[in-house]
């Protein structure tokens, strides 16, 4: 996975969040405070502003910049979570201009570990972690197979899609949605949804 | 939606500009946004910093000043501020004795302040974070993100602000703040929804004869809806939710100087003979006269339950934009708390 | 109608009971109804008494206390109190130096206070009445009952209260009060109607996209309706109505110790170079954050027009029940006015 | 006119204000603050409470009690105006147990003079004074004719009715209605209406 693909990934992600802004916000309106789409587009608009400054730096710098930018522009719960995800992901691949499958796994693992440390989600809490935990498990299983990053991502995308759908029947135990108790059941988690778009756009960028 | 605003995109910024113009004793900074005392940093004094989404004014920005907050970080309406705001604010107000972050327990606020604490500590500034989680409408801390931070926040900012002014060091400020939080409980009732400027329409629909019980401060739905009832009934319900609330145990995460430490805290219920500060708060759209009817009932319920109200605070202090409704906070006091409650304070939102 | 009330017949009484419970430094009496400082009468000090219909809280009852009013007489909602209340209140607070009645210019208030002045004088108590008539929305004093008393009332109660506390005699208090009234001008804008409890429905219908300009404080219709506009437009309009208002002449009736004397008074317009106190008031349902957006515009207009804002007051101080909207008051100051504005004050509604 | 007729008059007046409460309030809603009916019924309910205490006193005492009671229970503009009316009327007939036509004229004149001094209405300001001024003029013209009070009141009732109707086209220049400017034109004045009931019920009490 080359640096240019990372830049492409980020641009696609910005586009998708803009397209899905209302959809994400509607998901959040059902069980949160109706701002997740607004938060993500605000954050990625800032990322797009910052990107030219670091586009010629190494991958780690780019990823860390994404993290710092999200952290200082998103706010709410998803700001520190995604901020940490990109920041820790970047720190895990220090100095690289391209990522091997192993690098990629290390990056995702470190990022998701950041989410876990920051938000302390447990599996089944109905958060973005319920998307990432099965994805990391699947990545780990396949990482030794000799797949390149593109093949790896393509292979785990169905896992992510299933994990996303699996958030629907859960009762939230973290974040704003938790205050709804049983009324949170039956809705797809907004943060898991925006996380799914990260893998979907990456798959497109690598195709 | 009818509001005294210009473009919805600039609501918070323009209100802050108005504050800066009206209160030269405050400094307002943008990019990143924060407010602080114009005389900050104060050498040797612990600096108290709070923050959260906007829409709760006068909290927090209106409580910056002598005897209360050193700095405040306003987010967008109902959206947590970001760590860079908190870090910049902490650096601006630290006078060498460290910074106490006073944080309302909402996932976003908690995580952003946690990141800020790590960054501030990495810069060599002593830092502590204390959570306020006092909303008894949330019963359960295992199945939820825990009790929300509501009315006790105002009282804690006042009391810990006075202690910092009086020379308490960071640990003592943190201990006092934790105690105030553990001694305080709140419950809120909405008569109408609020309208978030960016949304342009009421957050929820409440019928002409309905009220929402057990609300937070972001227009989130409460525990249940009731038919509208006389203030005696509503205020009694709220008061009893607070006074009859049993012990509440949860785990909080505090910065211990090097990393995060989990603490299990149990708030004991009120007991006959307790002395309390009674705080009757308007959600923003309810005029103060109606709050006195709430206070009248609250005083009667406290008397029945054997609680003595030794001080009170009545008015709009922690609001939810234009929402009509009220919240009640009762804070058990001891001589330490009472002394700092009575200390002078000079802020735009609270003066004594 | 959703309000924090019990039976509509008892609204005012129960709110006063709440005030009495919350503020032991006040004495509240019923039959006839009035409030006064618990430490009244204060020997040798001029006693300042105001009153009017209820529904404008914290005015007037919330302004009873050290450095402001000695007593206040609340009527039913939006209905003038009666002379027996004023007489009983005057007797309770007179410390031998006489009583100043501070009266908002509404026919009912004026006549009831006039009767009270006659009765108090007949009892051998020195008395003076000064009218507040500052609402520039009323252009004409020949074809109307004259300008209504609105925002300047709050400022006058503060300033004259401080003068009385400082030992001014009755004549000097009256002269200062008259001057403050003549130096102050106000204009109000409603975003929504208020709802009088006894009526149970909004006093007037205002469309989702309309505002009412030039309102008083009783939900009466204003001078005209406008489409809702950005706060910059609304606040600028109000500010210009005030600042560009020409000289205003009318005849007032003042008690001269033995009988009634007519005085012709002319208020001079504001002039470049004037120093002013800027008061941005919420009509009750508008939260304080929005007032700062008003203040921001007001500050810009004052600057353009060459007025220097030397002090400000921002918040809900003279309200119209739950009405959303704001009023602006500008008061020209001189060293005497400024000194008393800055003096300490300790009341439930205003503290410094 | 005997004392018993005065007491009968006051009772009828209390009844009429109760019956016409909504009507008076509606008139006040059009050009004032929608409380005139409420004010008058509150005041006369208090008068009815107080009346037994003074029913065996002389007429002046009864009238002054009415005045004092209205003054301390009505509030608003009409409270002091009607309070003064009855008080000054009472003072004008001190010590009497019955009123001659001359006494009655003196009482009404004194009462109306009280209204004039208190409210400073000018003719044509669209107030209760626009009812009373022509009534006093008519009473004065007829008072020397030898009519008794009953005949006098019956004779001037049409004058009062006309004066009441004549308030409709006026533009208000006093009281709350004055703030409406030209919008006050076309409405009958509430205070003039409640004043008209005073003469109408007196006519019934004397019939
Ligand atoms: N403690 C947590 N751990 C992991 N993810 C969380 C946690 N709390 C909330 N989230 C995620 O954040 C999402 C909400 O983000 P957003 O709406 O942007 O923030 P906020 O809830 O502050 O408005 C949720 O859908 C959930 O996926
Ligand atoms: N200055 C005045 N002189 C005489 N009558 C007046 C004056 N001002 C008002 N009124 C009378 O008072 C009536 C209104 O009485 P009411 O509604 O009870 O009091 P308020 O106007 O204070 O609500 C008017 O209809 C008018 O007849
Ligand atoms: Mg959200
Ligand atoms: Mg949010
Ligand atoms: Mg009235
Ligand atoms: Mg009226």
Letter string b/e over residues A30-41, b meaning 16 or more CB atoms within 10 A of that residue's CB = bbbbbbbbbbbb
**What pLDDT score does B141 carry?**
82
Rounded distance between C-alpha atoms, residue D157 and residue D200, angstroms = 7
Phi, psi of A201 (to 5 degrees): -70, -30
Which B-chain residues 91-110 have CB contacts (< 8 A) with chain C? none
pLDDT at A144 exceeding the cut of 90: no
**Look-up of token digits 């009674």:** B278
* Residues contacting residue A141 through CB under 8 Å, at least 6 positions apart: none
Q: Would you tell me how many other CB atoms lie within 10 Å of the CB of residue A152?
A: 23
Tell me the average pLDDT across D75-81: 95
Q: How many residues does chain C have?
A: 352
What integer best gives the mean pLDDT of chain B?
Answer: 97
Burial (CB count <10 Å: 0-12, 13-18, 19+), residue C280: buried
Q: How far does the CA of residue D26 sit from the closest CA of chain C (Å)?
A: 12
How long, in residues, is chain A?
207
Q: Give, in order, the Cα–Cα distances in Å from B15 to each of B5, B193, B323, C257, C316.
A: 9, 22, 18, 49, 16
- Nearest CA among B188, B242, B235 for reference residue B213: B188
DSSP E strands: which ranges in chain D? Answer: none
The pLDDT tens digits of the residues spanning B6-38 come to 999 999 999 999 999 999 999 999 999 999 999
Whole-number Å distance between alpha carbons of C232 and C300: 10
Best B16, B17, B18 member to test C by mutation, with max C CBs in 10 Å, is B18
Q: Could you tell me the strand order of the sheet in which C325-332 lies?
A: C224-227, C210-213, C184-190, C325-332, C275-282, C308-315
Instruction: Select from B75, B81, B108 the residue to mutate for testing ligand 1; criterion: most ligand atoms less than 8 Å from CB.
Output: B108
Exposure string (b/e) for A129-148, b if CB count within 10 Å is 16 or more?
bbbbbbbbebbeebbeeebe
Q: pLDDT tens digits for A121-143? A: 999 999 999 999 999 999 999 98
| Strands laid side by side in the B34-37 sheet | B26-29, B34-37, B71-77, B47-54, B99-104, B127-132
Q: What is the mean pLDDT of each run of 10 residues along chain C (352 residues)?
A: 96 98 98 97 98 98 98 96 97 98 97 96 97 95 92 98 98 98 98 93 91 92 92 98 98 93 97 98 98 98 98 98 98 98 98 94
Q: What is the phi/psi pair of residue D26, to 5°?
A: -65, -40
Q: How many CA atoms lie within 13 A of A60 on its CB side?
A: 10
User: What six digits make up the tokens of A81?
Assistant: 């979570």
Structure tokens at B240: 């009893």
Structure tokens at A28: 């959040």
At least 3 CB pairs under 8 A between chains D and C: yes
Q: Cα(B150)–Cα(B147) distance, rounded to whole angstroms?
A: 9
> What residue ranges do the domains of chain A occupy?
3-206
Furthest-apart CA pair in chain A: how many Å?
49
Q: What is the mean pLDDT of chain D?
A: 95
How confident is the model over B260-304, as pLDDT tens digits?
999 999 999 999 999 999 999 999 999 999 999 999 999 999 999
Judge B/D contact: 3 or more CB pairs < 8 A: no
pLDDT of residue D67: 97
Smallest CA-to-CA distance from C83 within D80, B244, B134 is with D80
pLDDT at residue A25, as a whole number = 92
User: How many Cβ atoms from other residues are within 10 Å of residue A102's Cβ?
Assistant: 11
For the CA of A127, the closest atom of ligand 1 is 27
Average of per-residue pLDDT across D183-196? 97
Helix, strand or coil, per DSSP, at residue C278: strand
Tell which one of A116, A191, A197 to mutate to probe ligand 1, the residue whose CB is within 8 A of the most ligand atoms. A191
Contacts of A76 in chain B (CB under 8 A): 79-80, 108
CA dihedral sign of residues C59, C60, C62, C68: positive
Report yes or no: A193 and A160 within 8 Å, Cβ to Cβ: no
Higher pLDDT, D147 or D161: D161
Inter-chain contacts counted by CB atoms under 8 A, chains A and B? 82
* Domains detected in chain B: 12-183+252-260 (3.40.50.10440), 186-243+270-332 (3.30.1180.20)
Which residues in A lie closer than 8 A to residue B148 (C-beta atoms)? 179
B310-329 mean pLDDT: 98
C111 and D119 within 8 Å at the Cβ level: the answer is yes
How many Å lie between the alpha carbon of A95 and the closest alpha carbon of chain B? 23
Q: Distance between CA C271 and CA C273 in Å, rounded? A: 6
Chain B contact residues (CB < 8 Å to A): 32, 53, 75-76, 78-85, 106-108, 111-112, 114-115, 138, 142-145, 148, 198-199, 203, 216, 218-221
B53 to chain A, closest Cα gap in Å: 9
H or E, element range at B54:
strand B47-54
- Name the CATH code of domain A3-206 (choices 3.90.700.10, 1.25.40.340, 3.30.70.1110, 1.10.287.110): 1.25.40.340
Per residue in A38-68, pLDDT tens?
A: 999 999 999 999 999 999 999 999 999 999 9
Rounded mean pLDDT of B182-187?
98
The catalytic residues of C are 56, 218
- The span from the CA of B281 to the CA of B259, in Å, is 36
Query: Residue A197: is the preceding peptide bond cis (ω within 30°)?
Result: no
- Cα separation, A111 vs A202, whole angstroms: 15
Tell me the CB-side half-sphere exposure of residue B234, using CA atoms within 13 A.
32
Catalytic residues of B: 56, 218
- pLDDT computed for residue A146 by the predictor: 87
Residue B102 CB neighbours (<10 A): 29
pLDDT band for position B140 (50/70/90)? confident
Burial pattern D170-190, b for ≥16 Cβ within 10 A else e, equals bbbbbbbbbbbbeebeebbbb
Q: Which ligand is nearest to the CA of D112?
A: 2
Ligand 5 centroid–CA D45 distance in Å is 18
Burial class of residue A173, CB neighbours in 10 A (0-12, 13-18, 19+): buried
Residue B221 has pLDDT above 90, yes or no: no
Nearest CA to ligand 2 atom 21: D77
Q: Are A55 and A61 in contact (CB under 8 A)?
A: no
Angle, helix A21-31 to helix A190-206, in steps of 10 degrees:
150
Between positions 23 and 82 of B, the ones with CB within 8 A of C are 54-55, 57-58, 62
Assigned token pair, C231: 């706060």
C253 lines ligand 2 (CB under 6 A): no
Sheet (strand B210-213) strand order: B224-227, B210-213, B184-190, B325-332, B275-282, B308-315
Is B277 within 8 Å of B342 (Cβ atoms)? no
Mutation pick from B292, B313, B343 vs chain C, by most beta carbons of C within 10 Å, is: B292
Cβ neighbours around D91 below 10 Å, total: 16
Residue C255 phi/psi, 5-degree rounding, is -75, 125
Kindly report the pTM of this predicted structure. 0.96
ipTM, 2 dp: 0.94
Mutate to test the pocket of ligand 1, among A43, A118, A127, A188 (most ligand atoms within 8 A of CB): A127
**What would the mean pLDDT of B105-116 be, rounded to a whole number?**
96
Position C56 scores a pLDDT of 98
Tokens standing for residue C86? 């004023």
Judge if the upstream peptide bond of residue C271 is cis by omega within 30 degrees of 0.
Answer: no
Q: Which of D84, D171, D174 sits opposite C145 (nearest CB)?
A: D174
Reference C50, options C61, C39, C41; nearest CA is C61
For chain D, the straight-line distance linking the first and the last C-alpha, in angstroms and rounded, comes to 11
Q: Count other C-beta atoms under 10 Å from residue D207's C-beta.
A: 9
pLDDT at B188 over 90: yes
pLDDT (0 to 100) of residue B205: 87
């Amino acid at each position: 996975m080359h640096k240019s693909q990372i830049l492409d990934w980020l641009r696609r992600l910005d586009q998708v969040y803009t397209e899905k802004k209302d959809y994400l916000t509607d998901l959040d309106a059902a069980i949160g405070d109706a701002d997740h789409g607004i938060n993500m587009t605000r954050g990625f608009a800032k990322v797009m502003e910052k990107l030219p400054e670091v586009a010629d730096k190494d991958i780690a710098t780019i990823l860390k910049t994404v993290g710092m930018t999200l952290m200082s522009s998103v706010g709410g719960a998803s700001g520190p979570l995604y901020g940490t995800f990109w920041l820790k992901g970047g720190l895990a691949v220090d100095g690289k201009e391209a990522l091997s499958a192993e690098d990629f796994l290390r990056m995702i693992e470190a990022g998701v570990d950041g989410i876990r440390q920051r938000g302390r989600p447990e599996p089944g809490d109905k958060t973005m972690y319920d998307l990432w935990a099965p994805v990391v498990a699947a990545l780990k299983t396949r990482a030794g197979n000799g797949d390149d990053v593109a093949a790896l991502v393509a292979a785990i995308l169905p896992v992510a899609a299933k994990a996303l759908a699996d958030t629907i029947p859960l009762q939230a135990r973290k974040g704003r949605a938790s205050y709804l108790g049983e009324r949170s059941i039956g809705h797809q988690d907004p943060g898991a949804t925006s996380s799914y778009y990260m893998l979907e756009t990456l798959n497109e960028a690598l195709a | 939606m009818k509001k005294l605003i210009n473009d919805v995109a600039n609501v918070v910024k323009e209100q802050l500009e108005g504050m800066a113009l009206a209160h030269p004793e405050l400094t307002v900074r943008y990019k990143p946004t924060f407010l602080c005392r114009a005389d900050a940093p104060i050498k040797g004094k612990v600096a108290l910093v709070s923050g959260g989404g906007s829409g709760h004014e006068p909290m927090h920005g209106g409580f910056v000043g002598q005897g209360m907050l050193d700095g405040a970080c306003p987010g967008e309406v109902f959206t947590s501020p970001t760590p860079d705001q908190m870090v910049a604010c902490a650096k601006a107000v630290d006078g060498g004795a460290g910074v106490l972050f006073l944080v309302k327990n909402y996932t976003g606020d908690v995580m952003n302040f946690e990141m800020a604490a790590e960054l501030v500590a990495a810069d060599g500034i002593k830092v502590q974070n204390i959570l306020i989680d006092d909303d008894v409408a949330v019963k359960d801390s295992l199945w939820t993100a825990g009790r929300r931070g509501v009315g006790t926040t105002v009282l804690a900012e006042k009391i810990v602000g006075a202690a910092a002014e009086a020379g308490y060091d960071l640990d003592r400020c943190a201990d006092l703040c934790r105690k105030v939080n553990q001694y305080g409980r709140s419950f809120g009732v909405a008569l109408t929804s609020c309208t978030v400027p960016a949304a342009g329409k009421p957050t929820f629909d409440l019928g002409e004869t309905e009220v929402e019980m057990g609300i937070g401060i972001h227009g989130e739905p409460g525990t249940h809806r009731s038919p509208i009832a006389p203030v005696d009934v509503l205020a009694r319900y709220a008061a009893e939710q607070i006074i009859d609330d049993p012990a509440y145990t949860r785990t909080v995460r505090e910065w211990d100087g090097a990393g995060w430490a989990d603490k299990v805290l149990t708030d004991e219920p009120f007991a006959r003979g307790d002395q309390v500060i009674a705080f009757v708060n308007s959600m923003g759209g309810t005029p103060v006269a109606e709050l006195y009817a709430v206070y009248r009932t609250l005083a009667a319920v406290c008397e029945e339950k054997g609680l003595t109200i030794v001080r009170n605070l009545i008015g709009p202090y922690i609001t939810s934009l234009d929402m009509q409704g009220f919240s009640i906070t009762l804070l058990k006091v001891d001589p330490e708390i009472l002394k700092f409650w009575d200390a002078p304070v000079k802020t735009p939102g609270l003066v004594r």
